[in-house]
Structure 1
Amino acid sequence: MKKITKIEAQRRKGRYNIYLDDQYAFPISEDVLINFQIFKGMEVDDQLQQQIQDADTVSKLYNRALNYLAHQLRSVAEVRTKLAELTDDEQRITEVIERLQDQQLLNDQRYAESYVRTIVNEAQKGPGAIQNQLRQKKITANEIEAAIQNYYPITTQIEIGQKVAQNQLKKNHRESGKMAVDKTRQTLYRKGFTAEVIEIVMQEVVDDSVYADDQENIQRIAEKYWHKFRAEETYKRTQKTKQALYRKGFSLDDIEKIISELN
Protein backbone atom coordinates (compact mmCIF):
# COMPACT_ATOMS: atom_id res chain seq x y z
CA MET A 1 0.00 0.00 0.00
CA LYS A 2 1.10 3.55 -0.76
CA LYS A 3 -0.03 6.66 1.01
CA ILE A 4 -1.08 10.02 -0.43
CA THR A 5 1.37 12.49 1.04
CA LYS A 6 0.52 15.57 -1.00
CA ILE A 7 -2.33 16.95 -3.10
CA GLU A 8 -1.10 19.88 -5.18
CA ALA A 9 -3.32 22.21 -7.21
CA GLN A 10 -2.10 22.76 -10.76
CA ARG A 11 -2.09 26.14 -12.45
CA ARG A 12 -4.89 24.83 -14.62
CA LYS A 13 -8.12 25.26 -12.70
CA GLY A 14 -9.76 22.05 -11.54
CA ARG A 15 -6.65 19.87 -11.92
CA TYR A 16 -4.50 18.37 -9.13
CA ASN A 17 -1.24 16.45 -8.82
CA ILE A 18 -1.21 13.45 -6.50
CA TYR A 19 1.95 12.40 -4.65
CA LEU A 20 2.36 8.91 -3.22
CA ASP A 21 5.00 8.41 -0.56
CA ASP A 22 6.41 11.87 -1.36
CA GLN A 23 6.78 11.05 -5.07
CA TYR A 24 4.68 12.55 -7.87
CA ALA A 25 2.33 9.80 -9.09
CA PHE A 26 -0.45 11.09 -11.36
CA PRO A 27 -2.78 14.04 -12.08
CA ILE A 28 -6.54 14.02 -11.50
CA SER A 29 -9.52 16.33 -12.04
CA GLU A 30 -11.54 17.94 -9.30
CA ASP A 31 -14.59 15.76 -9.89
CA VAL A 32 -12.46 12.60 -9.55
CA LEU A 33 -10.96 14.04 -6.37
CA ILE A 34 -14.47 14.50 -4.98
CA ASN A 35 -16.00 11.25 -6.29
CA PHE A 36 -13.24 9.10 -4.80
CA GLN A 37 -13.10 11.25 -1.65
CA ILE A 38 -9.35 11.53 -1.99
CA PHE A 39 -7.51 13.08 0.96
CA LYS A 40 -3.99 13.42 2.32
CA GLY A 41 -3.02 10.30 4.24
CA MET A 42 -5.34 8.05 2.22
CA GLU A 43 -3.89 4.63 1.43
CA VAL A 44 -3.91 3.57 -2.24
CA ASP A 45 -3.15 0.14 -3.66
CA ASP A 46 -2.39 -0.58 -7.33
CA GLN A 47 -6.00 -1.50 -8.13
CA LEU A 48 -7.43 1.70 -6.63
CA GLN A 49 -4.77 3.79 -8.35
CA GLN A 50 -5.76 2.29 -11.70
CA GLN A 51 -9.44 2.98 -11.02
CA ILE A 52 -8.67 6.60 -10.15
CA GLN A 53 -6.58 7.09 -13.28
CA ASP A 54 -9.22 5.45 -15.48
CA ALA A 55 -11.83 7.77 -13.97
CA ASP A 56 -9.60 10.73 -14.70
CA THR A 57 -9.25 9.63 -18.32
CA VAL A 58 -13.03 9.54 -18.61
CA SER A 59 -13.27 12.95 -16.92
CA LYS A 60 -10.82 14.52 -19.37
CA LEU A 61 -12.60 12.99 -22.34
CA TYR A 62 -15.96 14.13 -21.02
CA ASN A 63 -14.80 17.72 -20.59
CA ARG A 64 -13.23 17.72 -24.04
CA ALA A 65 -16.51 16.45 -25.46
CA LEU A 66 -18.43 19.19 -23.66
CA ASN A 67 -16.13 21.83 -25.16
CA TYR A 68 -16.60 20.27 -28.59
CA LEU A 69 -20.39 20.29 -28.20
CA ALA A 70 -20.49 23.84 -26.85
CA HIS A 71 -20.17 25.40 -30.32
CA GLN A 72 -22.78 23.37 -32.22
CA LEU A 73 -24.66 20.09 -32.33
CA ARG A 74 -22.54 17.07 -33.22
CA SER A 75 -23.27 13.51 -34.22
CA VAL A 76 -22.15 10.54 -32.13
CA ALA A 77 -19.62 9.66 -34.83
CA GLU A 78 -18.15 13.16 -34.80
CA VAL A 79 -17.68 13.12 -31.03
CA ARG A 80 -16.21 9.63 -31.15
CA THR A 81 -13.72 10.71 -33.81
CA LYS A 82 -12.77 13.79 -31.79
CA LEU A 83 -12.16 11.77 -28.63
CA ALA A 84 -10.13 9.22 -30.57
CA GLU A 85 -7.60 12.00 -31.13
CA LEU A 86 -6.93 11.91 -27.38
CA THR A 87 -6.97 8.20 -26.65
CA ASP A 88 -7.26 4.81 -28.31
CA ASP A 89 -9.18 3.46 -25.31
CA GLU A 90 -12.49 2.61 -26.99
CA GLN A 91 -14.05 1.53 -23.70
CA ARG A 92 -13.48 4.92 -22.10
CA ILE A 93 -14.72 6.73 -25.20
CA THR A 94 -17.88 4.63 -25.17
CA GLU A 95 -18.42 5.45 -21.48
CA VAL A 96 -18.29 9.17 -22.31
CA ILE A 97 -20.60 8.77 -25.33
CA GLU A 98 -23.19 6.91 -23.25
CA ARG A 99 -22.99 9.51 -20.48
CA LEU A 100 -23.60 12.32 -22.96
CA GLN A 101 -26.51 10.43 -24.49
CA ASP A 102 -28.06 9.82 -21.07
CA GLN A 103 -27.83 13.57 -20.43
CA GLN A 104 -29.41 14.28 -23.85
CA LEU A 105 -26.33 16.25 -24.83
CA LEU A 106 -25.75 13.87 -27.73
CA ASN A 107 -28.65 12.67 -29.87
CA ASP A 108 -28.36 11.67 -33.52
CA GLN A 109 -32.08 12.06 -34.18
CA ARG A 110 -32.04 15.61 -32.88
CA TYR A 111 -28.87 16.27 -34.89
CA ALA A 112 -30.55 15.02 -38.09
CA GLU A 113 -33.64 17.12 -37.48
CA SER A 114 -31.57 20.25 -36.85
CA TYR A 115 -29.57 19.65 -40.03
CA VAL A 116 -32.73 19.19 -42.12
CA ARG A 117 -34.26 22.39 -40.74
CA THR A 118 -31.06 24.29 -41.59
CA ILE A 119 -31.07 23.02 -45.18
CA VAL A 120 -34.76 23.90 -45.59
CA ASN A 121 -34.13 27.42 -44.31
CA GLU A 122 -31.24 27.86 -46.77
CA ALA A 123 -33.56 26.77 -49.61
CA GLN A 124 -30.75 25.49 -51.83
CA LYS A 125 -30.67 21.68 -51.66
CA GLY A 126 -32.93 18.67 -52.00
CA PRO A 127 -33.31 15.62 -49.76
CA GLY A 128 -30.63 13.65 -51.60
CA ALA A 129 -27.96 16.12 -50.52
CA ILE A 130 -29.23 15.84 -46.94
CA GLN A 131 -29.07 12.05 -47.04
CA ASN A 132 -25.51 12.05 -48.36
CA GLN A 133 -24.28 14.49 -45.73
CA LEU A 134 -25.97 12.73 -42.82
CA ARG A 135 -24.71 9.33 -43.96
CA GLN A 136 -21.18 10.74 -43.73
CA LYS A 137 -21.97 11.67 -40.13
CA LYS A 138 -22.99 8.00 -39.52
CA ILE A 139 -26.63 8.89 -38.92
CA THR A 140 -28.84 5.82 -39.47
CA ALA A 141 -31.18 5.55 -42.44
CA ASN A 142 -34.24 5.47 -40.17
CA GLU A 143 -33.15 8.65 -38.37
CA ILE A 144 -32.52 10.42 -41.68
CA GLU A 145 -35.86 9.35 -43.14
CA ALA A 146 -37.75 10.45 -40.03
CA ALA A 147 -36.10 13.87 -40.06
CA ILE A 148 -36.87 14.43 -43.75
CA GLN A 149 -40.48 13.30 -43.40
CA ASN A 150 -41.04 15.60 -40.44
CA TYR A 151 -39.25 18.71 -41.67
CA TYR A 152 -38.93 18.48 -45.47
CA PRO A 153 -42.24 17.27 -46.97
CA ILE A 154 -42.57 16.97 -50.72
CA THR A 155 -44.59 20.20 -50.96
CA THR A 156 -41.63 22.09 -49.50
CA GLN A 157 -39.23 20.23 -51.79
CA ILE A 158 -41.25 21.41 -54.81
CA GLU A 159 -41.37 24.98 -53.52
CA ILE A 160 -37.61 25.15 -52.95
CA GLY A 161 -36.93 23.29 -56.20
CA GLN A 162 -38.86 25.95 -58.10
CA LYS A 163 -36.78 28.72 -56.54
CA VAL A 164 -33.55 26.92 -57.43
CA ALA A 165 -34.77 26.28 -60.97
CA GLN A 166 -35.89 29.86 -61.53
CA ASN A 167 -32.54 31.21 -60.35
CA GLN A 168 -30.70 28.78 -62.59
CA LEU A 169 -32.78 29.72 -65.64
CA LYS A 170 -31.96 33.37 -65.02
CA LYS A 171 -28.24 32.58 -64.82
CA ASN A 172 -28.44 30.75 -68.15
CA HIS A 173 -30.59 33.30 -69.98
CA ARG A 174 -27.81 33.91 -72.52
CA GLU A 175 -27.84 30.23 -73.51
CA SER A 176 -30.32 28.59 -75.84
CA GLY A 177 -33.62 27.72 -74.22
CA LYS A 178 -32.85 23.99 -74.49
CA MET A 179 -29.41 24.45 -72.94
CA ALA A 180 -30.85 26.55 -70.13
CA VAL A 181 -33.46 23.89 -69.40
CA ASP A 182 -30.91 21.05 -69.51
CA LYS A 183 -28.51 22.88 -67.19
CA THR A 184 -31.34 23.67 -64.79
CA ARG A 185 -32.41 20.05 -64.69
CA GLN A 186 -28.80 18.96 -64.07
CA THR A 187 -28.50 21.50 -61.26
CA LEU A 188 -31.57 20.11 -59.54
CA TYR A 189 -30.21 16.57 -59.77
CA ARG A 190 -26.83 17.71 -58.45
CA LYS A 191 -28.46 19.49 -55.52
CA GLY A 192 -30.24 16.32 -54.46
CA PHE A 193 -33.81 16.71 -55.69
CA THR A 194 -35.63 13.53 -56.69
CA ALA A 195 -36.64 12.74 -60.28
CA GLU A 196 -40.31 13.05 -59.27
CA VAL A 197 -39.84 16.53 -57.82
CA ILE A 198 -37.69 17.67 -60.74
CA GLU A 199 -40.39 16.76 -63.27
CA ILE A 200 -43.01 18.67 -61.32
CA VAL A 201 -40.71 21.67 -60.92
CA MET A 202 -39.75 21.80 -64.58
CA GLN A 203 -43.36 21.67 -65.67
CA GLU A 204 -44.05 24.66 -63.45
CA VAL A 205 -41.09 26.88 -64.38
CA VAL A 206 -40.49 26.16 -68.07
CA ASP A 207 -42.73 28.06 -70.47
CA ASP A 208 -42.38 29.91 -73.78
CA SER A 209 -40.49 32.77 -72.11
CA VAL A 210 -37.51 30.44 -71.62
CA TYR A 211 -37.09 30.27 -75.42
CA ALA A 212 -37.98 33.91 -76.11
CA ASP A 213 -34.37 35.06 -76.50
CA ASP A 214 -33.20 32.17 -78.68
CA GLN A 215 -32.99 34.26 -81.86
CA GLU A 216 -30.98 36.97 -80.17
CA ASN A 217 -28.73 34.42 -78.47
CA ILE A 218 -28.05 32.36 -81.56
CA GLN A 219 -27.13 35.51 -83.46
CA ARG A 220 -24.63 36.54 -80.81
CA ILE A 221 -23.14 33.06 -80.30
CA ALA A 222 -22.98 32.26 -84.02
CA GLU A 223 -21.08 35.48 -84.73
CA LYS A 224 -18.63 34.61 -81.95
CA TYR A 225 -17.87 31.15 -83.40
CA TRP A 226 -17.87 32.42 -86.99
CA HIS A 227 -15.16 34.86 -85.95
CA LYS A 228 -13.31 32.20 -83.96
CA PHE A 229 -13.05 29.91 -86.99
CA ARG A 230 -12.23 32.67 -89.45
CA ALA A 231 -8.87 31.07 -90.34
CA GLU A 232 -10.60 27.94 -91.67
CA GLU A 233 -11.68 27.55 -95.27
CA THR A 234 -15.40 28.18 -95.78
CA TYR A 235 -16.68 24.60 -95.57
CA LYS A 236 -14.78 23.77 -92.36
CA ARG A 237 -15.67 27.14 -90.89
CA THR A 238 -19.35 26.47 -91.56
CA GLN A 239 -19.26 22.92 -90.17
CA LYS A 240 -17.43 23.90 -87.00
CA THR A 241 -19.82 26.75 -86.36
CA LYS A 242 -22.82 24.48 -86.91
CA GLN A 243 -21.40 21.88 -84.52
CA ALA A 244 -20.74 24.51 -81.86
CA LEU A 245 -24.28 25.86 -82.14
CA TYR A 246 -25.76 22.35 -82.02
CA ARG A 247 -23.83 21.61 -78.83
CA LYS A 248 -25.31 24.81 -77.41
CA GLY A 249 -28.78 23.35 -77.88
CA PHE A 250 -30.11 25.38 -80.80
CA SER A 251 -32.47 23.73 -83.29
CA LEU A 252 -31.22 22.61 -86.70
CA ASP A 253 -33.62 24.95 -88.45
CA ASP A 254 -32.37 27.97 -86.53
CA ILE A 255 -28.76 26.92 -87.12
CA GLU A 256 -29.25 26.59 -90.86
CA LYS A 257 -30.95 29.96 -90.98
CA ILE A 258 -28.23 31.85 -89.12
CA ILE A 259 -25.45 30.12 -91.08
CA SER A 260 -27.03 31.17 -94.35
CA GLU A 261 -27.07 34.75 -93.06
CA LEU A 262 -23.41 34.59 -92.07
CA ASN A 263 -22.40 33.21 -95.43
Structure 2
Amino acid sequence: MDDLRILRLQVVKRRAGERVVVELDNGSTVEVDPEIVVRCGVKSGAAISAETVERLRYDDELLRARRRLTKYLSLRVKSVADARLYLERAGFRETIITAAIADTAERDLLDDQRFAERYVRTKLKTATVGPLRLVAELTAHGVDPSLAERVVAPQYDRAWQLRAAERLLRKRSQSRSGTDDEGSDKRLYEFLRRRGFEEDVARELAQRSTW
Protein backbone atom coordinates (compact mmCIF):
# COMPACT_ATOMS: atom_id res chain seq x y z
CA MET A 1 0.00 0.00 0.00
CA ASP A 2 1.31 3.45 -0.96
CA ASP A 3 2.21 5.84 1.82
CA LEU A 4 -0.12 8.67 2.71
CA ARG A 5 0.99 12.26 2.96
CA ILE A 6 0.42 14.68 5.80
CA LEU A 7 -1.30 17.80 4.47
CA ARG A 8 -1.21 19.88 7.63
CA LEU A 9 -1.22 19.90 11.42
CA GLN A 10 -3.84 21.92 13.23
CA VAL A 11 -3.79 22.65 16.95
CA VAL A 12 -7.26 22.59 18.53
CA LYS A 13 -8.39 23.20 22.08
CA ARG A 14 -10.45 20.56 23.84
CA ARG A 15 -11.79 20.41 27.37
CA ALA A 16 -8.91 18.11 28.36
CA GLY A 17 -6.31 20.41 26.76
CA GLU A 18 -4.67 21.04 23.41
CA ARG A 19 -4.79 18.41 20.68
CA VAL A 20 -3.25 18.21 17.22
CA VAL A 21 -5.36 17.20 14.22
CA VAL A 22 -3.23 15.50 11.57
CA GLU A 23 -4.89 15.87 8.14
CA LEU A 24 -3.98 13.22 5.55
CA ASP A 25 -4.24 13.36 1.77
CA ASN A 26 -6.87 10.60 1.66
CA GLY A 27 -9.33 12.85 3.49
CA SER A 28 -8.95 11.22 6.90
CA THR A 29 -7.66 12.80 10.09
CA VAL A 30 -5.94 11.62 13.24
CA GLU A 31 -6.25 13.59 16.46
CA VAL A 32 -3.42 13.12 18.95
CA ASP A 33 -1.72 14.73 21.91
CA PRO A 34 1.05 17.25 21.08
CA GLU A 35 3.50 14.98 22.91
CA ILE A 36 2.84 12.24 20.34
CA VAL A 37 3.50 14.65 17.46
CA VAL A 38 6.87 15.62 18.89
CA ARG A 39 7.85 12.11 19.92
CA CYS A 40 7.03 10.59 16.52
CA GLY A 41 8.39 13.49 14.45
CA VAL A 42 5.10 14.17 12.65
CA LYS A 43 5.51 17.04 10.15
CA SER A 44 3.43 18.66 7.42
CA GLY A 45 4.29 17.38 3.96
CA ALA A 46 5.91 14.18 5.21
CA ALA A 47 4.96 10.73 3.98
CA ILE A 48 3.37 8.42 6.51
CA SER A 49 2.42 4.76 6.26
CA ALA A 50 -0.94 3.33 7.30
CA GLU A 51 0.88 1.35 9.99
CA THR A 52 2.37 4.54 11.41
CA VAL A 53 -1.06 6.17 11.44
CA GLU A 54 -2.38 3.28 13.52
CA ARG A 55 0.64 3.57 15.76
CA LEU A 56 -0.14 7.24 16.35
CA ARG A 57 -3.66 6.31 17.42
CA TYR A 58 -2.37 3.56 19.69
CA ASP A 59 0.30 5.74 21.31
CA ASP A 60 -2.18 8.54 21.86
CA GLU A 61 -4.72 6.25 23.51
CA LEU A 62 -2.02 4.73 25.69
CA LEU A 63 -0.83 8.18 26.75
CA ARG A 64 -4.39 9.17 27.69
CA ALA A 65 -4.86 5.95 29.65
CA ARG A 66 -1.57 6.42 31.50
CA ARG A 67 -2.39 10.00 32.43
CA ARG A 68 -5.88 9.12 33.54
CA LEU A 69 -4.64 6.20 35.62
CA THR A 70 -1.89 8.29 37.22
CA LYS A 71 -4.45 10.90 38.27
CA TYR A 72 -6.74 8.18 39.62
CA LEU A 73 -3.93 6.68 41.69
CA SER A 74 -2.90 10.07 43.05
CA LEU A 75 -6.15 10.21 45.02
CA ARG A 76 -5.76 6.88 46.82
CA VAL A 77 -3.74 3.66 46.63
CA LYS A 78 -5.57 1.09 44.50
CA SER A 79 -5.16 -2.57 43.60
CA VAL A 80 -4.24 -3.71 40.10
CA ALA A 81 -7.75 -5.08 39.63
CA ASP A 82 -9.30 -1.77 40.73
CA ALA A 83 -7.08 0.07 38.24
CA ARG A 84 -8.05 -2.30 35.45
CA LEU A 85 -11.75 -1.91 36.21
CA TYR A 86 -11.39 1.88 36.24
CA LEU A 87 -9.84 1.90 32.76
CA GLU A 88 -12.41 -0.58 31.46
CA ARG A 89 -15.23 1.67 32.63
CA ALA A 90 -13.47 4.61 30.99
CA GLY A 91 -13.77 2.77 27.67
CA PHE A 92 -10.16 1.86 26.92
CA ARG A 93 -9.27 -1.24 24.88
CA GLU A 94 -7.83 -4.32 26.57
CA THR A 95 -4.42 -3.95 24.92
CA ILE A 96 -4.23 -0.34 26.08
CA ILE A 97 -5.31 -1.26 29.61
CA THR A 98 -2.69 -3.99 29.89
CA ALA A 99 0.07 -1.70 28.63
CA ALA A 100 -0.98 1.20 30.87
CA ILE A 101 -1.06 -0.99 33.96
CA ALA A 102 2.33 -2.52 33.15
CA ASP A 103 3.85 0.93 32.67
CA THR A 104 2.30 2.24 35.89
CA ALA A 105 3.55 -0.77 37.85
CA GLU A 106 7.06 -0.29 36.46
CA ARG A 107 6.97 3.28 37.76
CA ASP A 108 6.08 1.86 41.20
CA LEU A 109 2.68 3.56 41.24
CA LEU A 110 0.70 0.33 41.36
CA ASP A 111 1.44 -2.56 43.70
CA ASP A 112 -0.99 -5.03 45.30
CA GLN A 113 1.13 -5.60 48.41
CA ARG A 114 1.32 -1.87 49.13
CA PHE A 115 -2.43 -1.60 48.55
CA ALA A 116 -3.12 -4.51 50.92
CA GLU A 117 -0.87 -3.10 53.65
CA ARG A 118 -2.52 0.33 53.42
CA TYR A 119 -5.98 -1.25 53.42
CA VAL A 120 -5.23 -3.28 56.55
CA ARG A 121 -3.76 -0.28 58.40
CA THR A 122 -6.88 1.72 57.64
CA LYS A 123 -9.21 -1.07 58.77
CA LEU A 124 -7.31 -1.45 62.04
CA LYS A 125 -8.16 2.17 62.82
CA THR A 126 -11.72 2.31 61.52
CA ALA A 127 -13.43 -1.10 61.86
CA THR A 128 -13.53 -3.99 64.33
CA VAL A 129 -13.57 -7.00 62.04
CA GLY A 130 -11.67 -10.26 62.01
CA PRO A 131 -8.94 -11.44 59.65
CA LEU A 132 -11.23 -13.60 57.53
CA ARG A 133 -13.32 -10.55 56.67
CA LEU A 134 -10.19 -8.61 55.73
CA VAL A 135 -8.88 -11.39 53.49
CA ALA A 136 -12.28 -11.61 51.78
CA GLU A 137 -12.39 -7.85 51.23
CA LEU A 138 -8.87 -7.80 49.79
CA THR A 139 -9.59 -10.67 47.42
CA ALA A 140 -12.73 -8.83 46.32
CA HIS A 141 -10.34 -6.06 45.24
CA GLY A 142 -8.43 -8.62 43.17
CA VAL A 143 -5.56 -9.22 45.59
CA ASP A 144 -4.19 -12.77 45.45
CA PRO A 145 -5.57 -14.73 48.44
CA SER A 146 -2.12 -15.90 49.56
CA LEU A 147 -0.82 -12.33 49.51
CA ALA A 148 -3.90 -11.13 51.40
CA GLU A 149 -3.35 -13.76 54.09
CA ARG A 150 0.35 -12.89 54.44
CA VAL A 151 -0.43 -9.21 54.94
CA VAL A 152 -3.35 -9.74 57.32
CA ALA A 153 -1.95 -12.50 59.56
CA PRO A 154 0.74 -10.51 61.45
CA GLN A 155 -1.74 -7.78 62.39
CA TYR A 156 -4.63 -10.06 63.36
CA ASP A 157 -3.11 -12.80 65.52
CA ARG A 158 -5.20 -14.78 68.01
CA ALA A 159 -4.48 -12.46 70.94
CA TRP A 160 -5.65 -9.45 68.93
CA GLN A 161 -8.77 -11.30 67.83
CA LEU A 162 -9.70 -12.22 71.39
CA ARG A 163 -9.36 -8.62 72.58
CA ALA A 164 -11.25 -7.21 69.60
CA ALA A 165 -14.02 -9.79 69.77
CA GLU A 166 -14.46 -9.16 73.49
CA ARG A 167 -14.83 -5.41 72.90
CA LEU A 168 -17.30 -6.09 70.13
CA LEU A 169 -19.43 -8.39 72.29
CA ARG A 170 -19.43 -5.96 75.20
CA LYS A 171 -20.61 -3.21 72.89
CA ARG A 172 -23.28 -5.50 71.46
CA SER A 173 -24.42 -6.51 74.94
CA GLN A 174 -24.82 -2.88 76.01
CA SER A 175 -26.83 -1.97 72.93
CA ARG A 176 -29.10 -5.04 73.28
CA SER A 177 -29.58 -5.01 77.05
CA GLY A 178 -32.95 -6.51 77.96
CA THR A 179 -33.76 -8.00 74.56
CA ASP A 180 -34.72 -11.66 74.14
CA ASP A 181 -31.87 -12.54 71.81
CA GLU A 182 -29.26 -10.88 73.96
CA GLY A 183 -27.12 -13.87 74.51
CA SER A 184 -27.43 -17.39 73.10
CA ASP A 185 -24.06 -18.97 72.41
CA LYS A 186 -25.12 -19.77 68.87
CA ARG A 187 -26.13 -16.18 68.12
CA LEU A 188 -22.91 -14.79 69.56
CA TYR A 189 -20.83 -17.32 67.65
CA GLU A 190 -22.57 -16.48 64.37
CA PHE A 191 -22.26 -12.77 65.11
CA LEU A 192 -18.48 -13.05 65.41
CA ARG A 193 -18.12 -15.36 62.44
CA ARG A 194 -20.02 -12.91 60.23
CA ARG A 195 -17.49 -10.28 61.21
CA GLY A 196 -14.62 -12.43 60.10
CA PHE A 197 -13.27 -13.85 63.34
CA GLU A 198 -11.72 -17.31 63.25
CA GLU A 199 -13.82 -20.26 64.38
CA ASP A 200 -12.00 -21.08 67.61
CA VAL A 201 -11.99 -17.42 68.68
CA ALA A 202 -15.72 -17.05 68.00
CA ARG A 203 -16.48 -20.27 69.89
CA GLU A 204 -14.38 -19.35 72.94
CA LEU A 205 -15.88 -15.88 73.28
CA ALA A 206 -19.45 -17.05 72.64
CA GLN A 207 -19.24 -19.64 75.43
CA ARG A 208 -18.25 -17.16 78.09
CA SER A 209 -21.07 -16.30 80.46
CA THR A 210 -20.29 -12.60 80.77
CA TRP A 211 -22.27 -11.29 77.79
Name the TM-score, length of structure 1 as normaliser. 0.70
Deviations 1:223-257 (A, max 9, x none): xxxxxxxxxxxxxxxxxxxxxxxxxxxxxxxxxxx
Amino acid at match of 1:163: R
Equivalent residue number for residue 127 of structure 1: 131
Aligned-pair CA distance for 1:200: 4.1
Aligned residues: 207
The 5 Å alignment of 1:227-246 reads none
Deviates more, 1:98-107 or 1:171-180: 171-180
Select the structure of larger CA radius of gyration: 1
Equivalent residue number for residue 86 of structure 2: 82
Aligned-pair CA distance for 1:120: 1.3
Equivalent residue number for residue 73 of structure 1: 77
Equivalent residue number for residue 7 of structure 1: 10
Equivalent-residue separation in structure 2 for 1:129 and 1:149 (angstroms):
12
Higher relative contact order (CA 8 A, sep 6+): 2
Aligned-pair CA distance for 1:66: 2.0
Equivalent-residue separation in structure 2 for 1:72 and 1:88 (angstroms):
21
The 5 Å alignment of 1:1-263 reads 1-12=4-15, 13-21=17-25, 23=27, 25-87=29-91, 89-175=93-179, 179=183, 181-202=185-206, 206-207=209-210, 210=211
Deviations 1:156-177 (A, max 9, x none): 2222212111111112221358
Equivalent-residue separation in structure 1 for 2:182 and 2:167 (angstroms):
19
Amino acid at match of 1:52: L
Deviations 1:65-98 (A, max 9, x none): 1232232222111211221234463222110110
Equivalent-residue separation in structure 2 for 1:176 and 1:22 (angstroms):
81
Which segments of 5 or more consecutive residues in structure 1 lack a partner in the other structure?
211-263
Aligned-pair CA distance for 1:101: 0.7
Amino acid at match of 2:117: E
Q: CA RMSD in A?
A: 2.4
Equivalent-residue separation in structure 1 for 2:34 and 2:201 (angstroms):
56
CA contact (8 A) 1:65 1:83 kept: yes
CA contact (8 A) 2:131 2:153 kept: no
Aligned-pair CA distance for 1:108: 1.0
CA contact (8 A) 1:75 1:106 kept: yes
C-alpha distance 42-160 of structure 1, shift in aligned 2 (>3 A)? farther
Equivalent residue number for residue 256 of structure 1: none
Equivalent-residue separation in structure 2 for 1:200 and 1:127 (angstroms):
16
Q: What fraction of aligned residue pairs are identical, expressed as a percent?
A: 21
CA contact (8 A) 1:26 1:53 kept: yes
Question: What secondary structure, in the 3-state scheme, does the structure 1 residue paired with 2:160 have?
Answer: helix
Which segments of 5 or more consecutive residues in structure 2 lack a partner in the other structure?
none
Equivalent-residue separation in structure 1 for 2:146 and 2:95 (angstroms):
26
Aligned-pair CA distance for 1:154: 2.7
Equivalent-residue separation in structure 2 for 1:158 and 1:35 (angstroms):
60
Question: What secondary structure, in the 3-state scheme, does the structure 2 residue paired with 1:8 have?
Answer: strand
Name the TM-score, length of structure 2 as normaliser. 0.85
Question: What secondary structure, in the 3-state scheme, does the structure 2 residue paired with 1:10 have?
Answer: strand
Point out the structure with the larger helix share: 1
